[in-house]
Chains A and B, each alone.
Chain A
Amino acid sequence: MLKEGMELIDAHFKEEGISRRDAFKMFGAGGAAMLLGSGAATEAKASSSSAKAKILIIGGGLAGMSTAALFTRSLDNPDITVLEPTATSTSYQPGQTLVGAGIWDASEVTYQRDDFVPDGVTLIKEKAVEFDPENNTVKTSGGKTLKYDYMIIAAGLKLDFSKIEGLGIADTITSRGDDSAVRKVVGKNGITSIYFANGAADTWTEMQKFIADAKSGKKVKGVFTHPNTPIKCGGAPKKIMYLTDARLREAGARDNAELTFYPNGSKMFGVKEYHDAIVNQFEARDMKWNYRHNLIAVDPVKKIATFNRHWKEKGPYDEDLEEYSIVPRSEKVEKEYDFIHITPPMKAAEEIAKSPVGSGKGWVPVHKETLQHVKYPNVFALGDIAAVPMGKTGGSARKQYKVVVDNVVSMMNGKELTSFYEGYTVCPLITSIGTVMLAEFNWTKKPTPSFPLDPTQERWIWWLLKVYALKPMTQYGMLSGRA
């Protein structure tokens, strides 16, 4: 019944349409208000505790600040410090795709950190530079030494364009904050990246030039990359391609553009159902793809992207394996582009990766269900920097921060850790202007839809959810520890 009802509603709105103002009223204001109401469940669950402890949170982005907010609501005597150097750390990153395609203005996703510091929380506008978890201390960039009873690492990740030769970029950047090292090359001459805030705005400028060229009758090529590292928002490299396709169609210039996706991996999605759906969507739009290509260099003058193309060949028989072994092969291939969207390699900040709380791969190693550090029981990590499979979305952080707060409060009260993260992630995959496939999944690698609808379908209502509801939910629900 419910399913048919929702199908009808979806179809209804597709036909009737909805004005932005109406949608905002419904989803924006109403949605946020409703969340405050539905937050009661969370509030009740995070049992109020009179236990006292010094809690230090490294990073005041979405994950860190939401954690701080929920702690203040869960503890009678909160003693919480957040370290966050970037003034716009609480900006709405999931909106950068929409900025990149000119649907939102950059100002619509920019939010000031200082407006989101929960009452009673101490903010230090510095970053952590040294970790001494044996002695429960952290040194800050301003030379302070901070002592903690519990440390929560939510420092996010760094975008590492320096791995791509030819761009002349030596420094890593974050999605907000000083991006001068990257912006001097990325965001110009057809080279774009929505992964940093200014880059998203520049993407729209460059995309318009690309579309104008196509419209003028020139045959143009668009290249979209996906690196060989874990990335935040695994769907964004494809979303910006779908939106480029949509904008070209809108301009009546699609036939003059060839769009190709070059991911390092060999599939569209780790969940088969979504992989299949995406392949069908690509085919329907004449969007091309070429697996096993890792971007290693860009020549901004000649407009050539160089990829490491890799594959496997059959090797000699292996007696232990009782199979033929496999030999890796690779070669460099060059592709011309007029417009390239780069998803840069990503990594944990050096000062954390190489510290005792880091790991060989850099990410902070935690037990993936409790989010407790594998070596230091009073250290937890969440968000992009945590070494958990499949995560690195706002949707996963939204499940994780409640787990972390629950478990730390339990520890403070001398109890067992009873809150477990199940790997939930959501990717609202924008497939055109007006449709979204709401890909929800977890470690079972099966779709885990929150709604009784076929999750592999592109739908107008999920577009409304993405464009009107998720932002207020995140900015006013999650960042105050209520959703």
Chain B
Amino acid sequence: MKKTSIVLLSAVALFALSGCGDAPKSSPEAKTYSKTSAEVYEQSCKKCHGDNGEGNVKKKGPALNDRQAGELELDLFDVKNGGTNQSSGTDHDIMEHNMQKLLAKGYDYDPKDMAEFLEKSFYKMPSKTAAPAAEEAPAETPAAEAVPAPAAEATPAAAAH
């Protein structure tokens, strides 16, 4: 191998590997949403997921009050993106379709913010000793829409699909 090749290759290696150490910056422009998560829930989600996230068996809308923000966010990410993995597909085939229709109607939301709204408003803690881990309050306060008291007779989670 020629000397020049070695020099060139070293240059690439140096560049490539030092580049690897830097976290790529995600796009600086944050997406904005025309409705708050509370508004989206009130105007759309609740029709199939219940006033308090308890689910709606007739509409085959599963409960959303049985999971905390971390888990909900993963589900919402899956729903909005049609999966969280290259070719695995989604766990929410039907909702993925519906979500696209709802997004087109303006019911868009940030999955993290929506997950936090759902937990804060509806989450039924299975054990009273488990302290919520959220270290920060969601930025937006869903003033009037927030319904903190979960319905006593919440329907058990309807099988999604």
Contacts and interface: CB of A to CB of B under 8 A. Distances in A.
Interface of A: 6, 9, 12-13, 16, 18-19, 22-23, 26-27, 30-31, 34-35, 38, 41-42, 134, 226-231, 234-235, 237-238, 261, 263-270, 292, 294, 310, 312, 320-323, 325-326, 328, 356, 359-361, 363, 365-368, 370, 372-377, 387-390, 392, 399, 416-417, 422-424, 427, 440, 442-446, 448-451, 461, 464-465, 469, 473, 483
Q: Which of B10, B21, B25, B48 has the most CB of A within 10 A?
A: B21
Nearest to A268: B87
A328 B93 contact: yes
A366 to B, nearest CB: 6
A26 B8 CA distance: 10
Interface stretch (B33-41, B64-72, B140-148): B64-72
A19 B1 contact: yes
Contacts of A294: 89
A16 B4 CA distance: 11
Nearest to B87: A263
Contact of A34 (B2, B14, B67, B90): B14
Nearest to B27: A444
A377 B134 CA distance: 8
B32 interface: no
Contacts of B9: 9, 13, 18, 22-23, 26-27, 464
B159 interface: no
A373 B85 contact: no
A407 to B, nearest CB: 10
A373 B133 contact: yes
Interface residues of B, number: 64
B149 interface: no
Given A375-B130, A389-B77, A450-B20, A422 B26 contact: yes
B87 A417 contact: no
19 contacts: A18-B5, A42-B21, A134-B130, A238-B86, A265-B82, A265-B86, A266-B82, A268-B87, A270-B85, A312-B94, A365-B67, A367-B133, A372-B133, A373-B133, A387-B70, A389-B77, A450-B22, A450-B24, A473-B17
Contacts of A368: 70, 73-74, 112
Nearest to A17: B1
Which 10 A-B residue pairings sit nearest by Cβ, starting from the closest?
A265-B89, A234-B86, A263-B87, A374-B70, A389-B84, A320-B47, A448-B24, A365-B70, A374-B68, A264-B89
Contacts of A325: 94, 98
B85 A376 contact: no
Interface string B15-55: 11111111111110000000000000000000110000000
B71 A365 contact: yes
B24 A321 contact: no
B85 A312 contact: no
- B2, B8, B83 — which one has the most chain A CB atoms within 10 A of its CB? B83
Contact of A26 (B10, B71, B78, B82): B10
A413 B25 CA distance: 27
Given A16-B2, A265-B83, A360 B78 contact: no
A56 to B, nearest CB: 18
Contact of A265 (B11, B15, B23, B88): B88
Contact of A38 (B21, B48, B87, B90): B21
A125 to B, nearest CB: 31
Name, among B10, B70, B77, B133, the residue most crowded by chain A CB atoms within 10 Å (CB to CB). B70
Contacts of A444: 26-27
A424 B93 contact: no
A322 B98 contact: no
B86 A483 contact: no
Contacts of A22: 1, 5-6, 9
A427 B17 contact: no
Contacts of A134: 129-130
Contacts of A389: 74, 77-78, 81, 84
B70 A445 contact: no
A320 to B, nearest CB: 4
Contact of B21 (A229, A363, A366, A483): A483
A322 B105 contact: yes
Contact of A230 (B88, B93, B102): B88
A35 B84 contact: no
Contacts of A328: 93-94, 161
B89 A38 contact: no
